[in-house]
Structures are given as structure tokens and as C-alpha cells.
Structure 1
């Protein structure tokens, strides 16, 4: 789908100006979603640019690293050196005119430049400041906040990977993404509250707390019982069958969440009596006898491919499907009418982007600008 800036409806966040001092992923991802929703996002970059401008390969057809492109569409880019008095003055002008200021510097950096929330509110009491850190602004303030580090120290790697294999990171910077979503939630809640109080506030999120929240049932189990979960491979600690199974061709995921689905599963597999086997009559018994269940199911699944089984099982309401590549997932989404890829064009440049997953009935998301070149929107006085 090719889209442009000709949509007559303003976005849900139209009129909101964001001074984005964040880099890499968590902050830029949050502000890109805001820009999609109509916010005016001004990306403030140091002279060398956001680090992800240099994180390649891969690159898109224009030579831009796809990592940078993934989190920076719909923004304007200006370059400001905060150690330069003139550029700092411009940064202060921008920050005090903004509705939202977001950053992920080490704690204390914004204070040093007079860009902290307390300083900004002296001029603009309506400003909302959002600070993203790795481990908070207390004793963990000096700890570097990188996604893989937090995956390790935050417990995610301890529950990811083969049962008897090494701890494994998730294949994407999921902690940054979760943190960016939490930042977006906090910012929008603060904007909503400001509509009644008339004043802004400081929003703070950190990678570690965001991950612990995102660990949901696993973190809840550790907090409630004092026992930390361990790796279960692709299996679920509380549900069975809920994992990958080998077939005649490819791996199949079964996500059987209740007894009704289990009965339909074994009927399709030609062994309805398994639904009444005392080892498998309830979810708790299936979890208890997971090994035996897996052995039986893989024997039955060996007759067809993962694609064939997925089609047959979904037809009767059993959640199942093959393990696919990202390219195959994009093709599937396209086939389902979800339009997963959008093409942004501007001034002869083209950028294929993953679409914003949120849809609105009256204020649709907008795709106006490809990810900007460094300093593309200098000079830095156009917002005044």
C-alpha cells in the first residue's frame, strides 16, 4: 500500500508537539507511534546522529540502515550540539515550546543542560517530560541500559532457550519495545490528565521495570511463590499441548487452551479416545504428563506437513499453525487484508515500512515522511 500526506483527517494526536532527544530504540519507537497518530515530532540528534544510523547491514534501497528506518518515520530531524551555547539555546527554545520532551540520557544529563523537568516547567508548566533509563534514577542510575543486558539481568534469558541448552536472548530487542510502549502509555495518560488540570508532569520508565511487568505470569509466579521459573524450551509452564511439534515437513505450533480444543485436536488426528485417556482428560493432567503427550502427538503428526495440519486444525477451531519466516508472516498478513507494509514517498525517496498496528475509525494514522536524513530539517528555528 502506498500512502501520502493527503488524508483529510487529522491524527488523534494532532496539535501535540514532541521534542525527541531519545536515541536507538525505546524512545524513538514511542515517538514514531506518536508521529503516526499525528503528533509533530522533532528528532534532535547530536552531530554524529542517532547511533542506529550506523547499525548496518542490512540497508534499504536508499542505503539507510533498516534499524534506523524501523523507528523514525514521520519525524523531522535537526542537529544540535548541546555543548555549544547557540545550539543549547535552540534546544531550550524547542523544549519549552513543546508539549512533550522525551529523552534517554543517563540520569543527570538533562539537568546539566537545564533541560530537566523542573527547569522546563519554570517557563512552560504544561510540559510533559518523559525520561527512559535502563535501571531507574536511584542506585541503578549509572548502569548502562542495553536491551540484551536487561534481558540477561532481568530474567528473560533464564526462561528462554532449550531446556538443556544455554540461556538465549529473544530475537528482537523486545525490552526496548516494551519500554517504548510503556513510555507511550505514560505520556498519553499525562496528556489526558493535563486536559483537566492544565499542568504537565514528569513520566519515568526504565527497561528493568518494564521487562518485569512484561514477564507477566512468569514474574508473578516468582513473586508469589519465591521460586523462579526455569527454561521449558517452546513449552508453556502451565498449558499443554502448547508448544512446537515436529511433522512430516516443518514444525507445527499447537496452542490448545482448553479441553474442548483438545478433544477436537485428537479427533482430527484420528484418535478421539485420547480425549478420555486419564493422563490427558484435563489441562493439569496433560501438563503433568507432558512428555507422554508429546510423544503420542508427534507420532500422529508425522503423516502430514505443518501447513496441512495447521489448515485442518484451524478449520475446526484448534489454534495451530506452522513456524514461519518473517517474510512468510508478512505474506500471510497481506493475504488476510491487514496491509502490513506501507510505502512512504517524498522528494523522490521511497521507504517500505511496517504499518502501525493501531487503527482508528475517525482519526487514522498517517504516513507522511520517510525516515529523515540527518539534519534534514535545519535550520532549527522553523518551529518558533
Structure 2
């Protein structure tokens, strides 16, 4: 696999950091997860499968890794960590800024021991700035970055997806890969300072110029484009139309007998589109979802049912793409979304027990 021979030390916890190293493990990297004696906090989360030894989130985000228990507050274990760092290609950590310095595994120390090391720090607000030491979970980071959507009466809506965390994992994976490529060529690694807040700020490219140049705050639904929004069908199920292109808008409104609303659909978003929004809501309420999906397909108009996550995973397209894997016990898992034609990923679907590989990894260093 493409990352075979790459050793990753994962000191991170919760979502963003573990997702980076999980994707690397799916593609052949040897990921050693360093855990404190009590384990990653997500080990102790909700468990939904019989005989499951770790929480759902931990099991998904730490599959295919090796677990080593080290208490970094103890000098002997800190020395073992430094020995591991000497042999690693990548180090990922998500401590609060300043903690790695207290633990003796900070970027300067690590890169002095191993100049080719790619050191990735993931935190809420980055390693510098006035918010450097502030704690920040995903919704709060998005709130400060202006990426929370708006709902009824303009009330902010916390999204179902932890966008800042998930996006940070993808950006970190890209950054680590870029730095690894350079390290192969030059023998010098780098320190990637990945801020979840920076990532969230970057998530709305279409709004950046308006925000900078015209002080326009937001184009979030329901003040956006009516032809890019969900509507309830007669049976209470929802469909989401994607008729943002002029040809789709003309096809949709022409077929519905309201070509006079095309100019509204293609005009400025916001309150001016309310007549169109009201018309579409009334129209879609006349028939059940299945009929509307057939009608949209017949008119070649982009449209999708609004599914919950369980139903989304059952969609035939998901199976056709090979996104569902089954383990030896018959439980289903999600495949990696990174799909290569050559050397595809081969995820190991099992997460390690706490400290399962401590002796094997440390013995490999001559450190019993």
C-alpha cells in the first residue's frame, strides 16, 4: 500500500487527530497510538455492539493501529517516547498549546532528535494568537468562525456533522502528506500548526470577498437560494432540490408551470426569493416523495431525498461504491473514501485493546 513503511506516532485524542492517523493506517502506515494509562477518553464512550471492548467513536477512529501505554509524566516513559520519536516519520498530537513542552515532546525537541520528522499539532485555535490557550469544541469553533447555519427566527443551528473537526483532519492529512513528500526529497521534516478555527474560516470560499469587501455577514439558509433547499412532500418526507444552474431552474419552473419565477430563482438570494420558496413549498406538498423523485428524474432535474444516516448507509449507491465492509464477525464498517486504482487501501477493521502492543513496540527498541 502507498504508506507502507511510514511510522506514525499518534498522541492525539477525540476526533481530528485520530481520524488523520486512521486514514493513514487504512493505506498501510504503521500507526502507534500512544495512550495514557487510563486510555483515550473515547475508549469509554457508548458501545452498541455485543462484546464491544471500546466506544463506538474510538473503534472507528483507531482501527488498524497499535496501542502503547506511556505515562509521559514519568521520566522513564518520556524517555521511551523520545526513542520512538527518533524512528518515526510522523507525529500527530492534539494537546493544548504548551503541554508538549511540559511533557518534553515539543516540536523543537522532537525535530532535534529526528530532523526528518513531520510533526503535526492540531488544536482549536492554533499555537499562537490571543485565543491560543482557549478551549474550543467544534460548535464553539464554528460559532466564532461564522459557519453555523441559521434556522427559524434566525436562530443559530448546531450542525449534525462536526465540520471543523472533520475538515481539520482532512487538512492535516493533506499537510502531513505535503511535508512527507518534501522530507523524502530534502531529509528535513516540518511542524504543521493546524488550527480548527483556521480550517472553519476557510470553509466558505464563496462568501470571502463579500465578507471582506462589503461587510456582508452571511448567505445561510433560509436566506439563500430557494432552488437549493429542502422541502416537505405530502407524506411528510423531505426532498432537497439542486437546481442552482440556470438550465435546471428553467426546467424545474417551466415544468411546474411557473417560468415567470425563473428570474427570481436566478436573482439575489435572501428575502427576495420568498415568493419562489412559498410556491415550491406548496407545490411539493401536493405529492409524496416517491412521486416527486420519479418526476424529477423524468425531467433531468437534480434532486435527492433527505435521508437520516442509517438510511444513507443502506443506499444502493453506497454498496456499489464498495463503501461497506464486513468483518469476520459479520459487523459492517465504512471503507476509506480515498479510492486508488492501484494499491487501494485495505483497512484493518479491529481497534486495539489498551496497551495491547506496548511490549512488542518497546521491545523492538530494545526497551522492555
Q: Same fold (TM over 0.5)?
A: yes
Which is worse superposed, 222-231 or 201-210? 222-231
CA distance, structure 2, for counterparts of residue 282 and residue 152 of structure 1: 29
1:361 to 341, 364, 367: 341
Distance 1:350 1:206, change over 3 A: farther
CA distance, structure 1, for counterparts of residue 100 and residue 330 of structure 2: 35
Structure-2 residue corresponding to 1:253: 240
Answering whether residue 160 of structure 2 is matched by residue 188 of structure 1, we say no
Answering whether residue 63 of structure 2 is matched by residue 81 of structure 1, we say no
Mind listing any 5+ residue stretches in structure 1 that lack a counterpart?
Answer: 1-10
CA contact (8 A) 1:259 1:281 kept: no
Aligned length: 361
CA contact (8 A) 2:336 2:347 kept: no
| Offset, 1:148 | 2.2
Distance 1:278 1:324, change over 3 A: closer
CA distance, structure 1, for counterparts of residue 70 and residue 141 of structure 2: 30
1:21 to 11, 14, 32: 11
1:212 to 201, 212, 237: 201
CA contact (8 A) 2:120 2:176 kept: yes
CA distance, structure 2, for counterparts of residue 24 and residue 331 of structure 1: 27
SS at match of 2:116: coil
Answering whether residue 300 of structure 2 is matched by residue 300 of structure 1, we say no
CA contact (8 A) 2:231 2:238 kept: yes
| Offset, 1:141 | 2.0
SS at match of 1:141: coil
Answering whether residue 274 of structure 2 is matched by residue 291 of structure 1, we say yes
| Offset, 1:268 | 4.0
| Offset, 1:152 | 2.2
Distance 1:291 1:69, change over 3 A: same
Structure-1 residue corresponding to 2:324: 341
1:141 to 110, 126, 132: 132
CA distance, structure 2, for counterparts of residue 90 and residue 76 of structure 1: 16
Q: Which structure has more helix as a fraction of its residues?
A: 2
Answering whether residue 223 of structure 2 is matched by residue 241 of structure 1, we say no
C-alpha root-mean-square deviation of aligned residues, in Å? 2.2
Distance 1:28 1:350, change over 3 A: farther
Structure-1 residue corresponding to 2:93: 103
| Offset, 1:285 | 6.3
CA distance, structure 1, for counterparts of residue 162 and residue 143 of structure 2: 12
1:325 to 297, 302, 308: 308
CA contact (8 A) 1:306 1:321 kept: no
Distance 1:86 1:181, change over 3 A: same
Distance 1:222 1:95, change over 3 A: same
